Structure 1
Amino acid sequence: MPLYVHVETTNGAYATHNDPDFHNAGMFIRNVVIEYSIGQIKGDGPYRVGLKLDHGWLYVEGLTDYEQHGDQLLLAGHDRLGRLACALHLDIKPLPQGASEVESQ
């Protein structure tokens, strides 16, 4: 079954405000359709999730929390101050596009 995926990682743009030598990095991808043959959750916390795709793997590390809302699975990794470090969202339908759509859910 095809799934819509959202993956986000960040070490935080806020970090650059305190240290001008800090190199900020992040990644964001939304509403890419995938199909996977193997799904794995590993670790004692924080966790890592791997999904085996036809031509490789989708892999997210540093996950600490999850919620399920109907067919939507939301996994997130937060640092010790509660800031988002990574996210993996999976759903059978497209995920909302804008912040206003996410806030209204």
Structure 2
Amino acid sequence: MKPIDPRKVQETINQNAGKELYVHLETTNGAYASHKNQGFFSVGTFLRNARIKYVQGKITGDGPYRLGLELEGGWAYAEGLTDWEIDDQNQILFAGHDPDGKLAIAFQLSEKPFRK
């Protein structure tokens, strides 16, 4: 993955507006390791292969970034994004890594379903 270039991301988001896409959204703050600290409040999100079609999208911030997609009936957004790539299957992959390099958020878009 490469650091986010907001201009390139915005171009990619604009090119995919109006297409029916699959989304993967996952967040973690260490939920899998928090069992050792009973005082740690763990939260997370996992959404995979939900179909969306967005009207417009926008990337904002100076890094980490926030990406918002305006849907026909609302919004989907992710913040804390630091890196991105378009893989060999034409999937648009965004990730947010904390200062230690650990994954905190993944926000991905694809014209085909993601592997189960």
Q: 1:44 and 1:24 mapped to 2: Cα distance?
A: 27
Q: In structure 1, the residue corresponding to 2:93 is in which secondary structure?
A: strand
2:100 aligned partner, one-letter code = L
Aligned ranges 1:16-27 → 2 under 5 Å: 16-17=34-35, 19-27=37-45
Q: CA deviation at 1:13?
A: 1.8
Q: CA deviation at 1:18?
A: 5.3
2:76 aligned partner, one-letter code = L
1:77/1:92 CA distance change after superposition, 3 Å = same
TM-score, normalisation: structure 1: 0.86
Aligned ranges 1:25-64 → 2 under 5 Å: 25-64=43-82
Q: 1:43 and 1:15 mapped to 2: Cα distance?
A: 30
Aligned length: 97
Q: 1:48 and 1:33 mapped to 2: Cα distance?
A: 21
Structure 1 unaligned runs (5+)?
Answer: 98-105
Q: How high is the sequence identity, in percent, across the aligned residues?
A: 55
Aligned ranges 1:60-99 → 2 under 5 Å: 60-70=78-88, 71-97=90-116
Tell whether the 8 Å contact from 1:15 to 1:24 is kept in structure 2 after alignment: no
Q: 1:17 and 1:67 mapped to 2: Cα distance?
A: 33
Root-mean-square deviation (CA), in Å? 1.3
TM-score, normalisation: structure 2: 0.78
Moved more, 65-74 or 52-61: 65-74
- State the 4+ residue runs in structure 1 displaced beyond 6 angstroms: none
2:103 aligned partner, one-letter code = L
CA offsets, 1:16-55, max 9 Å, x none? 2553211100000000110000101001100010000011
Q: Which residue of 1 aligns with 2:23?
A: 5
